[in-house]
Structure 1
Amino acid sequence: MNEVKQLRSNVAAIGLGSMGYGIASSVLRDNHLVWGADINPDQVARFREEGGQPEELSDVAGDLDVVIVAVLNAAQTETVLFGTEGIVKSLKPGAVVLACATVPPVFAKDMAARCALTGVLYLDAPISGGSIKAANGQLSIMASGTPEAFTSARTVLDSIAETVFELGDEAGAGSAMKSVNQLLAGVHIAAMAEALTFGMTQGVAPEKFVEVISKCAGTSWMLENRAPHIVAGDYTPRSSVNIWPKDLGIVLDVAKSAQFSAPITAAALQQFVAAAGMGHGREDDAAVAKVYARIAGLTLPGEAI
């Protein structure tokens, strides 16, 4: 996040979940005027108490410069933008939509085209980094869109991102790169869970697994970030199991359209589907380890013996 404060913008932050709240807070911290919106009124009230603007979005939409959409998926993104109460129709020409959800590239292209019909700019800007980096303004953003969209969103991008990868002047390229990232991230979480529980069958304690493997060639960012959740027996959702059937499903849909075989992705997807089916969908995605543990008859840290 830049040390020097930039020009103040009028910003809507739609979606105040674990990532969206941190994003909104980072923009607010950089002295922009921010209106928060979420289906959970408690989140909106909390954000207003911390400095968010008090008006409803419908009352100020025509004055907004940037609209950050940090919701779960493509369907929610489309509803926010073009649903019955969609915001795009109320935005001024030149306002920019910063779309952060993981969506198929073809969907991002469609949203950009529909926004352009009313002169609204669209930046295909999926995010990576987790809730802590979101709250600290240190996300990585894989972005694509017109030069005008980048220019209009620049001060807000500076507030929320440590790194902005500019991947082209058309929407879709950002989402394509995000699908590559999610392939690896989802596979790495599942592989971590498999390796940790495999180690347990050989007498390797989970805490020793983290101590040793995090310093060896077999490590990954996801291993170092998620395996400690298993060691602590803490499945408070930083990123939930339910995210992965969606995101890896997108990867496989894109792969299918490209006639590309992605068998490792498909195997990882099935483990997250199994975890959700076992009732762990709203737990931290490290809970995929519970699938392996149940099959092997293992007791994970924090579980009753």
Structure 2
Amino acid sequence: MDTTKNDAVDAPTTSTEDLNVTVLGTGLMGGGIARTLAAAGFAVTAWNRTPAHAEPLRAYGVSVEPNLAAALADADVVLVVVYDAASVMDVLERGIGAAPAGAVWVQMATIGVEESRDVARFAETKGAHLVETLMMGSKDQAENGALTLMAGGNPALFDQADPVLQAISVKIVHCGESVGSGSVVKLACNLWLACITSAACQSVELLKGEGVDPQLFLDVISGMTTDSPYAHLKGGKAITGDFSAQFEVNALLKDLGLVGEVMARRGFRTDLLDRQKALYDEVRAQGHGHDDVSAVALAFASPRDTPGLS
């Protein structure tokens, strides 16, 4: 089921003032989500493994709590926005006992399909209520409540979390009633994201190499059936050379590795995936792991256009 804010659905009966939200992880995505929820009127508490990284959120009305147990003590909804499966398991193992029994845990990190199922089984053994909502969107969408969420898990648990999820998203796609279903959809989407980014950046660099204005590529596809807002976003960054991170190369490579795990389990051919991994690995090796995925343009740049090369 695909739920957008424009759908004619009943509004949630729970007001923002009635829900305490704890955000675990305040990186590019978690920090933006915490700010969005605070602006929407929720009581938001943020925790980060490195407390100093969460401190700037205080200026946006977010309560920053360096102690994990204290951060979870009054939570109605817990958003887990950490980096990988090990981090998710760490906060669950240390935090489940500190949260109220009725809290709904929303796992939002891209951690893989089997890993998501492991997390769900662990939560169940501890009597915790856990669902997943994987995210499509980057830092800007997180800060503006414009994420697309891929949900998996018990539909009944989403009722309590719904006001929170609606506040941070423009669309919620329900992928299945088991945790893991949203994860596999997210991985498929991130493979597409990798491909469209590298394709747009290669087209930009081709025109640069021929001495032609690369903006013409984006002008031509604009409004066509082949158009994509993401091509304009990442192609635009390739044109300007602004690789400030919205979605880091390191994070995409982590996700592509998870795609590979699914493919290997299914015996699925990996030639397209392998080529994408090689391209992003190349720019990471050049020192761009923490830059935006549009830095893949550097894999296609001619030597005279690439900083540090001759």
Kindly tell me the number of residue pairs found equivalent between the two proteins. 299
1:38 equivalent in alignment to 2:18 = no
Provide the C-alpha distance between the structure 1 equivalents of 2:220 and 2:207, rounded to a whole number of angstroms.
Answer: 12
Which residue, out of 145, 170, 184, partners 2:192? 184
Provide the C-alpha distance between the structure 2 equivalents of 1:208 and 1:163, rounded to a whole number of angstroms.
Answer: 32
Provide the C-alpha distance between the structure 2 equivalents of 1:11 and 1:131, rounded to a whole number of angstroms.
Answer: 20
Query: What is aligned with 2:84?
Result: 73
Provide the C-alpha distance between the structure 2 equivalents of 1:29 and 1:303, rounded to a whole number of angstroms.
Answer: 43
1:15 equivalent in alignment to 2:21 = no
Which residue, out of 124, 127, 147, partners 1:119? 127
Which residue, out of 290, 293, 297, partners 2:303? 297
Query: What is aligned with 1:26?
Result: 36
Give the secondary structure class of the aligned counterpart of 2:195. Answer: helix
TM-score, length basis structure 2: 0.89
Q: CA deviation at 1:266?
A: 1.3
Query: What is aligned with 1:233?
Result: 241
Provide the C-alpha distance between the structure 2 equivalents of 1:249 and 1:60, rounded to a whole number of angstroms.
Answer: 32
Query: What is aligned with 1:287?
Result: 295
Return 239-248 or 41-50, whichever deviates more: 41-50
Q: Which amino acid aligns with 1:58?
A: A
Query: What is aligned with 2:117?
Result: 109
What aligned pairs does 1:212-251 form with structure 2 within 5 A after superposition? 212-251=220-259
Q: Considering only aligned residues, what root-mean-square deviation do their CA atoms show, in Å?
A: 2.3
Q: CA deviation at 1:90?
A: 1.6
Q: CA deviation at 1:198?
A: 2.1
- Residue by residue over 1:170-215, the C-alpha shift from the partner in whole angstroms, topping out at 9 and shown as x without a partner, is 1010001001101100111111222222223333222333333344
Which residue, out of 158, 162, 167, partners 1:150? 158
Asked if structure 1 preserves the Cα contact closer than 8 Å seen for 2:85 and 2:115, the reply is: yes
Q: Which amino acid aligns with 1:65?
A: D
What aligned pairs does 1:52-63 form with structure 2 within 5 A after superposition? 52-55=62-65, 56-63=67-74
TM-score, length basis structure 1: 0.90
Q: Which amino acid aligns with 1:171?
A: V
Q: Which amino acid aligns with 2:144?
A: N
Provide the C-alpha distance between the structure 1 equivalents of 2:176 and 2:58, rounded to a whole number of angstroms.
Answer: 36
Q: CA deviation at 1:256?
A: 0.8
Q: Alignment identity in percent?
A: 27
Asked if structure 1 preserves the Cα contact closer than 8 Å seen for 2:47 and 2:64, the reply is: no
Change (3 A) 1:223 1:54: closer
Change (3 A) 1:116 1:123: same
Q: Which amino acid aligns with 2:117?
A: K
Q: CA deviation at 1:139?
A: 0.7
Q: Which amino acid aligns with 1:221?
A: P
Provide the C-alpha distance between the structure 1 equivalents of 2:174 and 2:277, rounded to a whole number of angstroms.
Answer: 29
